[in-house]
Amino acid sequence: MLLTEIMEKLDAKKERMIEIRRYLHENPELSFQEEKTATYIRDFYKNVPVDAVETDVGGQRGIVVTIKGAKPGKTIAIRADFDALPIQEETGLPFASKNDGVMHACGHDAHTAYMLVLAETLAEVKHQLAGVVKVIHQPAEETPPGGAIGMIKAGVLDGVDAIFGIHVMSTMKTGNIYYRSGNTQTGRAYFKLHVQGKGGHGSSPHMANDAIVAASAFVMNCQTIVSRRINPFDTAVVTIGSFDGKGQFNVIKDAVTLEGDVRTMSQEAQQIVEEQVRQFAEGLEASYGVKATIEYENDYPVLYNDPEITEQVRKALESARIPEVDAVVEAEPQPPSEDFAYYLKEKPGCFFYVGAMPRSKEWYPHHHPKFDIDESSLIICAKAMATVVASYCGA
């Protein structure tokens, strides 16, 4: 049986997955700068019997590997990202990052490691596959506009019937696989507001126009968007993460720049937040006599898992009875955003999660300098995605 053979081959390569993950963890590279990582991925396939390896896809170091089955069938895509974050690692691991200020603090090293070994294994059994499997190795998931857009424009989804992705989660129990149908992860927006007032002496506010006061009013007004403009059964978050108000204690600030982050779980909420942010910025000019310049950009969309395909994934995972898996669990909506959502706007598919919470030590969330995963999650990822591939491309 195809899936049984794939599982046996993956079991034999379990330690190799971990070795690859640790190498990548030691050698992280930031979004849009993943030159050595892309070379490593490309070189991995030199002696693997795949049918095609495309490099520099979208001009962003993306790599697409094609595996053609012996029989006609559907074309599916499976994706793993490979960029790291601008974080100084504090794990103390023997394979900690060698690159100062750069760390795989989100698990993309694990994604790439399992995907490489899985792709190799699928190529070894392609005579038993029906259809085509496109393996997408994507750069720059972490930094808007993200690597997915460029790869989509380059045609990676041409002819694809469905697309699938996995994210390891340090916040979820190792041994569980998690899924969710419909809107699953938030969409994201970014804004920057520059408030130009008139500087002056702290003793004479009547001769100045305080940019800090005006900008502070904007910050407080933004806190009413979620509480007074968003449906209580919808989801939205507005965060002001940067407020450039530092100056001299007795000097009235001439200008202030602040930056904000927006997360929403629906198109309607996304539009409401943008409208309100723009209105509050414009209102500063009338209320405070300042000049307000707003930049607002919607980037990652809401991640939407196709209900029918997600149900097929759930059934396949439950039926496979993967030995390392304790349960297949419905997940709560996830607050972070994910550029896999761009693929799902173009093609139906499912993005699901594999628990990777360390069992023997304290766990830390993604993007934390002490982030780590339970490496037994790698074999679960490989077997879970293999199960999905077999359910679509089993001859």
Mean pLDDT value of segment 228-232: 97
**Mind listing the pLDDT tens digit for each residue in 38-61?**
999 999 999 999 999 999 999 989
How many whole angstroms from its chain centre is CA 353?
Answer: 12
Mean pLDDT value of segment 242-269: 96
Catalytic residue among 29, 89, 141, 274: 141
| pLDDT greater than 80 at residue 395 | no
What does the pLDDT read at residue 98? 98
Catalytic residue among 83, 120, 274, 339: 83
Query: Does the bond joining 323 to the residue before it have cis omega, within 30 degrees of 0?
Result: no
Pairing of strands 176-179, 187-196: unpaired
Quick one: tokens of 253? Answer: 């600030």
Which residue segments constitute the domains of the chain, with CATH numbers given?
2-184+302-393 (3.40.630.10), 187-298 (3.30.70.360)
What does the pLDDT read at residue 232? 95
Cβ atoms of 93 and 4 within 8 Å: the answer is no
* Neighbouring C-beta atoms of residue 14, cutoff 10 Å: 17
In the residue annotation, 83 being an active-site residue is answered as yes
Q: Alpha-carbon distance 81 to 166, whole Å? A: 10
What does the pLDDT read at residue 1? 83
In the residue annotation, 332 being an active-site residue is answered as no
DSSP state of 22: H
Strand partners, 76: 133, 162
Residue with tokens 């379990």: 14
What does the pLDDT read at residue 134? 98
